[in-house]
Amino acid sequence: LKGDNLKTNTESVVGNTYTLLSDITTEEMGTIRINGVIWNVVSNNEEVISKGNKVEIVGIKGNKYIVKKGDNK
């Protein structure tokens, strides 16, 4: 069957790094753009992360991605 060994689109981005488009705060989700689509993201440890920082996707919860602060080099 076609696609048996392929990850779903959402699973395939885990481990990838993206630029944060809006701040992640304790009250607000941030956003990232993946293939032209804007997604909500939350910090994996409730860390505040500012817009423009790199974030790495570490998981998925419902319709949002869980991220950690990435390497900003």
Scanning the structure block, which residue is given the tokens 């992360």?
49
Q: pLDDT digits over 5-19, tens only?
A: 556 666 789 999 999
DSSP assignment letter at 34: E
Instruction: From 57, 66, 53, select the one nearest 12 (Cα to Cα).
Output: 57
Using the predicted structure, report yes or no on whether residue 2 has a pLDDT greater than 90: no
Amino acid letter for position 1? L
Q: pLDDT digits over 8-59, tens only?
A: 666 789 999 999 999 999 999 999 999 999 999 999 999 999 999 999 999 9
Scanning the structure block, which residue is given the tokens 């994996």?
44
**CA–CA distance, 38 with 47 (Å, rounded to integer):** 21
User: Which residues touch 71 (CB under 8 Å, ≥6 apart)?
Assistant: 17, 54, 56
